[in-house]
Amino acid sequence: MPVRRRLEPGQVIGGFELESPDPAAAVFEYAVTNQVDHIVVGARAGFGLPRHLGSVSSRVVAEAPCTVTIV
């Protein structure tokens, strides 16, 4: 089921965008422009603690202008 359809019945206001070539910068710009108060990003699957977060997730956590949740 698409994410958008899952969000409709609840009280969650959410959305998603896909940007490139610098995904982290695009996340920051989108968050500031749209006054986002919480960002949810995925973690890269890997082995060992240093590899749990991908480069984009790590940068978003370090530099985001709001709360970030890693899933």
CATH number of the domain where residue 12 is located: 3.40.50.620
Query: Does residue 49 carry a pLDDT above 60?
Result: no
Rounded Cα distance, 14 and 43, in Å: 19
Q: Tokens representing 49?
A: 């603690």
Range of the domain at 25: 3-70
Q: What is the pLDDT of residues 36-45, one digit of tens each?
A: 899 988 876 5
For every residue of 5-33, DSSP letters joined together read: HHHTTSS---------S-HHHHHHHHHHH
Query: Does residue 68 carry a pLDDT above 90?
Result: yes
Q: What is the pLDDT averaged over residues 30-57?
A: 76
| Total domain count, the chain | 1
- What's the whole-model pTM score? 0.63
